[in-house]
Amino acid sequence: MDFEFTPEQNAIRKHMREFAEREIAPKAQMNDRECKFDWDIAKKIFAEGFLGCPIPEQYGGLGQDYIAYGLMTEEVNRVCSSTRTLFSVQTSLVALTILRWGTEEQKQALLPKLCNGEFIGCYGLTEPEAGSDAANQQTRAVKDGSDYLLSGQKTWISCGTIASHALVFATVDPKLGHKGITCFIVDTKSKGFTAAAIKGKLGLRASDTASLFLDEVRVPEENILGGLGNGFKVAMSALDNGRYSVAAGAVGLVQGCIDACTEYSMVRKTFGKPIGEHQQVQAMIADMVADCEAGRLLYLRAGHLKNKGVRNTLETSLAKLFCGEAANKAGHNAVQIFGGYGYSDEYPVERYFRDAKVLNIYEGTREVQRMIIAQDALGIRYANGQPSGKPTALAAVV
Ligand SMILES: Cc1cc2nc3c(=O)[nH]c(=O)nc-3n(C[C@H](O)[C@H](O)[C@H](O)COP(=O)(O)OP(=O)(O)OC[C@H]3O[C@@H](n4cnc5c(N)ncnc54)[C@H](O)[C@@H]3O)c2cc1C
């Protein structure tokens, strides 16, 4: 087991930290206040090629591994969760899914432009009646010659109003259950496709979130991703990558809380000494540091397995659950450490507190992660398709 980063991984982390400090952090508070997706920041991210971090160079990416990608994502989220969401969607949910399931033509046509930001992707799985129960897709795909006509509604779709292409999951036959679900690559300029921004969010205010409406949107057969009826597998494999970036991002949020709190605690004085010298404040900081270190190891282990090409649904779920919970605890305690000042957006911790909540909602709620983990431990359903931990009494008999 090697706990050292390679010189290349360290260089990417350092480069991303400097970029995030210089380009993202100074505008994060105002973008949050104005609920503004910042195209200037996005264009700088595109120009650096960051969105193609784990995509092979032959498809326009940086050709880096999942560890480098995790570290990059962490550094972005250390200053801004909204900006990190762009990475989770464009790189993890869309580009890596096309890399895994796409035909050579689809990869050639889409990946270079997703890496350089010419195309923006979104991932349309959730519907008004299908969130945790993702197999309950109501969006229909009806065959019409060599095309399909897609009709239905998606909701809570990140990057939904800015996307040029959407991965839309729809059923070709509701009687087939999850085996009827198919993933379509949809050009958002198609007739019958509209998107409406969702306003009034608790957090991620500088991230674009939308409902998508499809009214007989014509999609050619060659835009099916991963084959007819394989959409549920495509969706779940995408979430394995999305949850990884969410876990890494959550660790970044915890690190952001630590950085803000350690600085403030040595400056703010009560009872004649810095609050950092009070044991109860130290305890909150100690918990943040311990959670940050543990969370980082969990997501890096998942990244290591991804690099090896080994199934890692369990390890990714563990990382997503733990890191999401850690981020919520850290955000909560960071506001506490700042006292009344933590309650205003003069300091970033109230944004961290609000932005943390979505980490245990999207890409599978914390309850869904617990379901995956517990079912694996009990031997009811192995997350990686086979026992991955110590055999339990139940696992031995299943
Ligand atoms: C800001 C934001 C961005 C998002 N971006 C995207 C995106 O880009 N693409 C996309 O497809 N979706 C996206 N989502 C949607 C997100 O993935 C869903 O909200 C999430 O999966 C939960 O689904 P739901 O909201 O329908 O809640 P429900 O599924 O209705 O769940 C409600 C509550 O019940 C619990 N629950 C449900 N079933 C069980 C069970 N079997 N056991 C125990 N508890 C259970 C849940 O954990 C939750 O606490 C986004 C959401 C948000 C808030």
pLDDT, tens digit, for every residue of 297-316?
A: 999 999 999 999 999 999 99
CATH architecture for residues 7-120: Orthogonal Bundle (1.10)
CA 364 to ligand 1 centroid distance, Å: 6
In this prediction, residue 389 carries a pLDDT of 57
- Token pair belonging to 7: 């010189």
DSSP string, 261-318: HHHHHTT-EETTEEGGGSHHHHHHHHHHHHHHHHHHHHHHHHHHHHHHT---HHHHHH
CA 266 to ligand 1 centroid distance, Å: 39
**Closest residue by CA, ligand 1 atom 4:** 156
Strand positions, DSSP E, the chain? 121-124, 140-144, 147-158, 165-171, 181-187, 193-197, 209-220, 224-225, 269-270, 273-274
Atom of ligand 1 nearest to the CA of 158: 8
In this prediction, residue 162 carries a pLDDT of 98
Model-level pTM?
0.96
In this prediction, residue 292 carries a pLDDT of 98
Q: How confident is the model at residue 398 (pLDDT cuts 50, 70, 90)?
A: very low
pLDDT tens digits for 217-274? 999 999 999 999 999 999 999 999 999 999 999 999 999 999 999 999 999 999 999 9
In this prediction, residue 387 carries a pLDDT of 86
- pLDDT at 396 exceeding the cut of 70: no
> How many Cβ atoms sit within 10 Å of the Cβ of residue 381?
12
Question: Parallel, antiparallel, or unpaired for β 121-124 and 165-171?
Answer: parallel
Class at the top of the CATH hierarchy for domain 232-391:
mainly alpha
Residues 6+ apart with CB under 8 A from 186: 124, 150, 165, 166, 167, 168, 193, 214, 217, 219, 223
Q: How confident is the model at residue 2 (pLDDT cuts 50, 70, 90)?
A: confident
- pLDDT at 378 exceeding the cut of 80: yes
Please give the average per-residue pLDDT across 86-91, as a whole number: 96
DSSP-based helix, strand, coil % in the chain, nearest 5:
60, 15, 25
The fold for domain 122-229 equals: Butyryl-CoA Dehydrogenase, subunit A; domain 2 (2.40.110)
Do 70 and 299 form a contact (C-beta atoms < 8 A)? yes
Span of 3-12, 69-78, 106-115, 379-388 with lowest mean pLDDT: 379-388
**Closest residue by CA, ligand 1 atom 22:** 131
- pLDDT at 391 exceeding the cut of 70: no
Question: Parallel, antiparallel, or unpaired for β 193-197 and 209-220?
Answer: antiparallel
CA 365 to ligand 1 centroid distance, Å: 6
Pocket of ligand 1 (CB under 6 A): 89, 123-126, 131-132, 156-158, 204, 209, 358, 361-363, 365, 367-368, 371
CA dist 33 to 170, 348, 360, Å?
Answer: 36, 11, 23
Give me the residue label for tokens 């090896």.
Answer: 308
In this prediction, residue 397 carries a pLDDT of 37
In the chain, the amino acid numbered 54 is: P
In this prediction, residue 392 carries a pLDDT of 41
pLDDT tens digits for 327-346? 999 999 999 999 999 999 99
Strand positions, DSSP E, 91-201? 121-124, 140-144, 147-158, 165-171, 181-187, 193-197
Residue 127 per-residue DSSP state:
B
Please give the average per-residue pLDDT across 24-51, as a whole number: 97
**Closest residue by CA, ligand 1 atom 30:** 131
- pLDDT at 184 exceeding the cut of 60: yes
Distance, in Å, from the CA atom of 29 to the CA atom of 364, rounded to the nearest integer, reads: 27
CA 356 to ligand 1 centroid distance, Å: 15
Domain ranges of the chain: 7-120, 122-229, 232-391
User: Phi-psi category of 157—alpha, beta or left, where left has phi over 0 and alpha has psi -120 to 50?
Assistant: beta
Residue 65 per-residue DSSP state:
-
Q: How confident is the model at residue 130 (pLDDT cuts 50, 70, 90)?
A: very high
Mutate to test the pocket of ligand 1, among 123, 126, 214, 370 (most ligand atoms within 8 A of CB): 126
Do 342 and 335 form a contact (C-beta atoms < 8 A)? yes
Task: Please state, rounded to an integer, the average pLDDT across all residues of the chain.
Answer: 96
- Token pair belonging to 349: 């911790």
- Token pair belonging to 344: 């205003």
Identified catalytic residue from 57, 263, 363, 367: 363
In this prediction, residue 1 carries a pLDDT of 76
CA 277 to ligand 1 centroid distance, Å: 41
Please give the average per-residue pLDDT across 196-217, as a whole number: 98
pLDDT tens digits for 340-372? 999 999 999 999 999 999 999 999 999 999 999
In terms of DSSP H, where are the helices of 95-183? Answer: 96-101, 104-115
Q: Can 363 be counted among the known catalytic residues?
A: yes
- pLDDT at 78 exceeding the cut of 80: yes
In this prediction, residue 390 carries a pLDDT of 47
